[in-house]
Structure 1
Amino acid sequence: MNSHVWFAGALLVGLLAVLLLMVQLGWGLWQSQRRITRSITARLNSAREVAGPGGARVDLGPLERLLVQADIRWSMRRLVMLSLLLLGALAFIALSRGVVVLLVVLFFTVTAIGVWWRMRFQKQRQTIHEELPGVVDAVLRNIDAGRSLEHSLITAFDESSPVFSPLVFRLRNAVEAGREYTRLFEDFADLYKVPAMVLVAIALRTTSRFGSSIRPVLEQVSTSLRSQQAMRREFLAASAETRFTAITFAVLPPALAAFMVLVNEEYSDVLLNTPTGHSLLLTAGTLQVLGMVVIWRMIQGVGRG
């Protein structure tokens, strides 16, 4: 690597550092102004919000939704810093090794980030499926102890896993403000793709609308959730071999390709520095993506609620 490449890399890193400082400064000023605006808006429109017909909702932006779904508790400053570091590393690879190597590294990076996010999201969903019947039973116990339905819901979800924290926070605010809160459960079900939470929302809305007792409805919901959980475990056990085979077929080809490129330098030179190698990489990447899509469609319903 000659001195020009090192100089270009150092200059790029310096520019990224200056850009990071400017972004942090601008972000801090924007967040401060946004907090002031939100505070003023909340004070002016507090009465209208309490009386709103739609009730409390889980309203998240696209980025915040992705972070909450995977339980990624990163601040915006840290997220911006990691993004700039990743862009800087990719730019350095493009300057030092070429565009083809950049595309290969970008493909593996995006795939690894997607798999990591998906694993965390599925872990969150599994926790919700496993704990929801116990949460419903805890609500019934709190009702039997003489607490109101609203405080029983807050206590039961507050004592469960942190995955319910977004729901508990908005539920407590809605109850204290006197707003309708059943749509929070529907939004939470849509956030984590858990249809079982819709049963809880329907039970609460039915009771509040028709004035019936909540206990028989919640008992039926708890029984239904436990039956669904038992069938889900049986289905996962029966399809474990199929899912493992699908994951192996999706991961093995890129892993073997990376191993061959790292071990055999001549093989990697042919792939990265010749037009024929570029065509082979493009064809292999396209077929790999198509194969992953086909496999994903084949196992799309496995393990879902």
Structure 2
Amino acid sequence: MKAPLLLAAVCLVLAALALLLLQHGWRQSRSEQVIERLAHAKPAIAKQARWGWLERAFLRAGFKLPNDRLGILLSCWIALLVVAQLLGGWMLGLIALVLPLLALHLLLSWRYRRRLRRVVHQLPQMLDQVMRSLQTGRTLGDALIKGIDTSPEPLHGALLRVQRNVQLGVSLPEALDDVAELYQQEELRILALGVKVNHRFGGSAVELLANLIKVIQEREQMARQLRAMTGETRLTAVVLGVLPICMAAYILAVNPSYLMNMWLDSSGQKMLLSAFILQVIGTVMLWRMLRSV
């Protein structure tokens, strides 16, 4: 029984290494395209940037994808799966397979939403500074870059790619579109759309930014009111998600033989597996419901 498991583990390792090689080759080809473009002095950039789903999730959360240690992390995870499979059977191996991925997803999602709320809260102050710079005679691009330089974190880190893309030759509307697509936030999309319209048809940039600040502040006030009205619902969802885990921990602490007897029995293992799957599905559903409110 152990030989097929070891063979499956080796296959998983080889598949992970193949994916890493494929990702490295794709990035190398993209780097060669960028170098060739810069060599011909053509700073035309694609209309919309594309990211891998993992790199996108890390960027939105404010982290940097550990490319140099990704192979080591995958190898440790696969080794953990093999050890869990050999020590605790297929059920513990399934838990070791699902639990780290679920924990990583929840961490990145929580960090992304928390960071995005702070970005939206800091955005009106930065736009007000851009308006003051425009009134002193600066252009919209220069004033926006100056505002990004002096803005606090995490707004500075979120909009830093705008400054970098503009320095590489990208137009300001396309650079703002790139950030808005990355973070999927309406306030950033409205900012990118307003700058694009001003860049193409002209008009008063000061009036545009004043209206944008008013819209952002109204949306933030409405979001706070919604969170206050749905606080009881969100607390109930958290209690429903944590209660089964707390009950299992309490039973394991008070009467560990009860769960161990179920673990050693085949039908008990199926029941525990079903309970674990239902708990994961319920947690994900509650998490998505919380995101909607």
Shift of 1:128: 1.4
How far off its partner does 1:175 sit? Answer: 5.1
Q: Which residue pairs with 1:94 in the alignment?
A: 85
Q: Which residue identity lines up with residue 80 of structure 2 in the other structure?
A: A
Aligned residues: 283
Per-residue deviation at 1:266? Answer: 1.5
Identity in percent = 28
Is residue 125 of structure 1 aligned with residue 116 of structure 2? yes
Say whether 1:37 aligns with 2:32: yes
**Do structure 1's residue 142 and structure 2's residue 133 form an aligned pair?**
yes
Residue range with higher mean Cα deviation, 38-47 or 84-93: 38-47
What per-residue deviation string (whole Å, max 9, x for no partner) do you get for residues 5-43 of structure 1? 9xxxxx99xx9xx99xx99x979x969966973564234
User: In the alignment, residue 202 of structure 1 is paired with which amino acid?
Assistant: L
TM superposition score normalised by structure 1? 0.78
User: In structure 2, what is the equivalent of residue 8 of structure 1?
Assistant: none
Q: Deviation digits for residues 133-170 of structure 1, max 9, x if unmatched?
A: 11111111111232221111111122222454353234
Q: What are the equivalent positions in structure 2 for 1:157-176 lying under 5 Å apart?
A: 157-160=148-151, 161-165=153-157, 167-174=159-166
The CA distance in 2 between the partners of 1:113 and 1:203, in whole Å, is: 36
Amino acid at match of 2:144: L
Stretch moving more, 229-238 or 110-119:
110-119
Structure 1 distance, partners of 2:277, 2:21, is 40
**Paired residues of 1:137 and 1:222 also in contact (CA < 8 A):** yes
Distance between the aligned counterparts of 2:214 and 2:236, measured in 1?
34
Question: Residue 101 of structure 1 contacts residue 272 of structure 1 at CA under 8 Å; is this kept in 2?
Answer: no
1:81 aligned residue (56, 65, 72) = 72
Indicate yes or no: 2:226 matched with 1:231.
Answer: no
- The one-letter code matched in structure 1 to 2:139 is S
Measured in 2, the distance between the counterparts of 1:227 and 1:32 equals 42
- The code of the aligned residue for 1:301 comes to S
Residue of 222, 228, 233 corresponding to 2:213: 222
Q: What are the ranges of 5 or more consecutive residues in structure 2 without an aligned counterpart?
A: none
CA distance in 2, matches of 1:192, 1:39: 24
Q: Which moved more, 1:261-270 or 1:238-247?
A: 261-270
Letter in 2 for 1:135: M
Q: Aligned-pair RMSD on alpha carbons?
A: 3.4
Question: Aligned with 1:46: secondary structure?
Answer: coil
CA distance in 1, matches of 2:49, 2:31: 22
In the alignment, what sits opposite 2:102? 111
SS in 2 for 1:59: coil
Relative contact order (C-alpha < 8 Å, sep 6+): which is higher?
1
Query: Offset of 1:259 from its aligned partner?
Result: 4.7
The 5 Å alignment of 1:206-221 reads 206-221=197-212
Residue number in structure 2 paired with 1:46: 41
